[in-house]
Amino acid sequence: MARGAAEFLQAHWRGLDPYDAAEPPETLAERAGVAEEAVVKLNANENPYGPSPKALDALRKGGRIAVYPDPAQTAMRRALAAYTGAPPGQIVVGNGSDEIIDLVFRSVLAPGDRIVNTPPTFGMYDVIAHICGASVIAAERNERFELDVQRTLDAAEGAKLIALASPNNPSGNASPQADIERILEADCIVMVDEAYAEFAGRSVIPLIRRHPNLIALRTMSKWAGLAGLRVGYGVMDAAMADALMRGKPPYNVSQTAETALLASLDDAALLNERAALIVQERERMTALLAALPGVEPLPSEANFLLCRMPRGRGKAAYDGLAARGVSVRYYPKAPLADCLRISVGTPSDTDRLVAALESALG
Ligand SMILES: Cc1ncc(COP(=O)(O)O)c(C=O)c1O
């Protein structure tokens, strides 16, 4: 009998560590022994207000579901050009920005190539680099989770790509433009993941004109409340966009996701108002958390914040919140030990979170 399929895996796939993804609400509800609707889900930086009414209307009307989507992404690229200010030929739309990370990495990384990561940060850069057989050089952030620019540049010697998120997940802080401009002097791709840009109110996209090595990633998952539909995009030099368009799966973004993206961009003013509400709520949540003894929320420019629990109490705080139906993200390892990442929800979500945390910490 032939060997099993898994026997043929490439060596670097064998012990692959998967991305540590957020639990869905039904699993959380089962664990906490509460109804799904009673779960306060603050573990995946989703938008508490959901999709825009125009997007929901368009989805209800349906789309041309029996027909394949446009592989050239003409309508989406045009609409995103108007939204971002970049030409349509510099935009590539993906099945979430995760797919753009995957496309960029697969297009440039051969086994043995090097990339620079700036941990603690979003886990997918590491996972996809390993899938490509690349080695990941860590240029650790400093104790305030700011980029160490010189360390990042030194690590980039001979590397093909630097991946950095701004605002960073899970620390919430954004990098000053001057730091990013210094990093752009490196002779490699600099991929700046701006999944949370709409909450920070700034973007590196205008820098692409002067820095053809810059790739900016954006998503409709956070700002536009479309996480479940999977649609994100990359903005980059036209030659790189062309290359990714040639290599991407032809129908990578569904008709449904396209319908929702176009209607959301048409409702950008309302989505921006909601983003402003979330930012306002983040500041209220920061003040309420800071008032709890031993609890230290860190400054954030995103729709979540990283919060230190009293020393040695991180796991207890996480478990205590889960038992009370409040789900957040927990990081067991240094330098995040005792930290929780908490998404910003509605004001009533914040009130439930704070009451549950107070009770969990006794
Ligand atoms: C920094 C960062 N980049 C990318 C993503 C993935 O976004 P998408 O839903 O567009 O794949 C996330 C999701 O949490 C994120 O935090």
| Tokens matching residue 72 | 């050239």
Q: Name the pairing type of β-strands 114-117 and 135-138.
A: parallel
- The rounded distance, in Å, linking the Cα atoms of 34 and 43 is 17
* In 248-290, alpha helices (H): 255-265, 268-290
Candidate from 23, 100, 122 with most ligand 1 atoms within 8 A of CB, to mutate: 122
Query: What is the number of the ligand 1 atom nearest to the C-alpha of 232?
Result: 10
CA of 124 to the centre of ligand 1 (A): 8
* DSSP 8-state code for residue 74: H
**What does the pLDDT look like over 106-120, one tens digit per residue?**
999 999 999 999 999
- The rounded distance, in Å, linking the Cα atoms of 157 and 345 is 41
* 111 preceded by a cis bond (ω within 30 of 0): no
CA of 342 to the centre of ligand 1 (A): 15
Q: Which residues pair with 215 in a beta bridge?
A: 191
What pLDDT was estimated at residue 303?
A: 98
Candidate from 221, 328, 331, 343 with most ligand 1 atoms within 8 A of CB, to mutate: 221
The type of residue at 87 is P
- The rounded distance, in Å, linking the Cα atoms of 24 and 29 is 9
Query: By alpha-carbon position, which residue is closest to atom 3 of ligand 1?
Result: 195
- The rounded distance, in Å, linking the Cα atoms of 340 and 123 is 16
Judge contact between 256 and 65, C-beta under 8 A: yes
Query: What is the number of the ligand 1 atom nearest to the C-alpha of 220?
Result: 10
* DSSP 8-state code for residue 175: P
Pocket of ligand 1 (CB under 6 A): 45, 96-98, 122, 165, 169, 193, 195, 219, 221, 227, 232
What pLDDT was estimated at residue 21?
A: 84
- Domains assigned to the chain: 21-50+269-360 (3.90.1150.10), 53-266 (3.40.640.10)
pTM for the structure as a whole: 0.97
- Order the strands of the 232-235 sheet from edge to edge: 91-94, 232-235, 214-219, 189-193, 161-165, 114-117, 135-138
- The phi, psi pair for 126, rounded to 5°, reads -65, -45
* 69 preceded by a cis bond (ω within 30 of 0): no
| Tokens matching residue 250 | 């032809």
What pLDDT was estimated at residue 241?
A: 98
- The rounded distance, in Å, linking the Cα atoms of 26 and 242 is 41
Judge contact between 224 and 47, C-beta under 8 A: yes
- The phi, psi pair for 79, rounded to 5°, reads -65, -40
Residue closest to 89 by CA, chosen among 240, 294, 257, 311:
240
Judge contact between 191 and 218, C-beta under 8 A: no
Calculate the alpha carbon distances from 192 to 107, 124, 161, 256, 296 in Å.
Answer: 17, 13, 11, 27, 28
Kindly give the confidence (pLDDT) of every residue in the chain, 362 residues in length, as a single tens digit, with 9 standing for 90 and above: 999 999 999 988 888 888 888 888 888 888 788 888 889 999 999 999 999 999 999 999 987 889 999 999 999 999 999 999 999 999 999 999 999 999 999 999 999 999 999 999 999 999 999 999 999 999 999 999 999 999 999 999 999 999 999 999 999 999 999 999 999 999 999 999 999 999 999 999 999 999 999 999 999 999 999 999 999 999 999 999 999 999 999 999 999 999 999 999 999 999 999 999 999 999 999 999 999 999 999 999 999 999 999 999 999 999 999 999 999 999 989 899 999 999 999 999 999 999 999 999 98
Burial of 109 (0-12, 13-18, 19+ CB in 10 A): buried
CA of 36 to the centre of ligand 1 (A): 24
What pLDDT was estimated at residue 28?
A: 80
What pLDDT was estimated at residue 32?
A: 80
Cβ-based neighbour number of residue 196 at 10 Å: 25
CA of 219 to the centre of ligand 1 (A): 7
* DSSP 8-state code for residue 353: H
* DSSP 8-state code for residue 38: G
What pLDDT was estimated at residue 298?
A: 97
CA 164, chain centre distance (Å): 11
What pLDDT was estimated at residue 231?
A: 98
Query: What is the number of the ligand 1 atom nearest to the C-alpha of 222?
Result: 9
CA of 329 to the centre of ligand 1 (A): 15
CA 179, 180, 185, 186 dihedral sign is positive
Long-range contacts of 291-295 (CB under 8 A, 24+ apart): 292/354, 292/357, 292/358, 292/361, 293/361, 294/361, 295/357, 295/361
* DSSP 8-state code for residue 296: E
